[in-house]
Amino acid sequence: MKKRNLFLWMLAFILWNCGGAEKRADTPETDDSVLLEQEEVHGTKVSKVELSNPLDQAMVKTGEAVYDMKCSSCHRLTDERLVGPGWAGVTQKREPEWIINMITNVDMMLDTDPEAQKMLEECLVRMPNQNVEAADARGILEFMRKNDGEN
């Protein structure tokens, strides 16, 4: 008799905890689901970048913050390749316009630029679109210049 009562209590407990699906379906979406549905931002091709001399420290700070949040998991500030190539010396190897275009519109670059295609072959991982706005991309460029020793 005790086993039967225990079984009924356990069954009731399980049914009670598993119920309420109708209520959960009516709850509003969480912030995570909104982020997953966010439309990607693609930049337009940049053909000219005016570099500041000396470096704009506000842009450097912005670029460092964006690097910490969106870039550091794949790129190192040294020449070490992690998922993507290391950033050391990138501003001496690439034109500023190339760097900005790679940051803001990676799909266009991988479709049309032979150097970007070569990097994809070496790294074997396609750089995702990080939805970096133009001002933040400019800050990343300034941060890269500082990383390469410019003042």
Residue 113 lies in a domain: yes
**For residues 138 and 100, is the Cβ–Cβ distance under 8 A?**
yes
What does the pLDDT look like over 78-123, one tens digit per residue?
999 999 999 999 999 999 999 999 999 999 999 999 999 999 999 9
Name the residue with higher pLDDT: 2 or 84. 84
The percent of residues in the chain predicted with pLDDT above 70, rounded, is 72
Residue 121 lies in a domain: yes
Residue 17 lies in a domain: no
For residue 11, is pLDDT > 70?
Answer: no
Long-range contact pairs involving 14-17 (C-beta distance under 8 Å, separation at least 24): none
Angle, helix 57-66 to helix 134-147, in steps of 10 degrees:
100
Work out the average pLDDT over 57-63: 98
| CA atoms of 151 and 147, how far apart (whole Å) | 9
C-alpha distance from residue 139 to each of 14, 64, 142 (Å) = 54, 8, 5
Residue 19 lies in a domain: no
For residue 127, is pLDDT > 80?
Answer: yes
Work out the average pLDDT over 57-65: 98
| CA atoms of 41 and 132, how far apart (whole Å) | 7
| CA atoms of 137 and 67, how far apart (whole Å) | 10
Q: What is the mean pLDDT of the chain?
A: 85
Compute the 3-state secondary structure of the chain and give helix, strand, coil in percent, each to the nearest 5: 60, 0, 40
For residue 23, is pLDDT > 50?
Answer: no
Residue 18 lies in a domain: no
Residue 122 lies in a domain: yes
**For residues 55 and 64, is the Cβ–Cβ distance under 8 A?**
no
Residue 137 lies in a domain: yes
Report residue 15 as tokens.
Answer: 């049914």
The CATH number of whichever domain residue 76 belongs to comes to: 1.10.760.10
What is the count of structural domains for the chain? 1
Residue 131 lies in a domain: yes
Domain that holds residue 122: 57-147
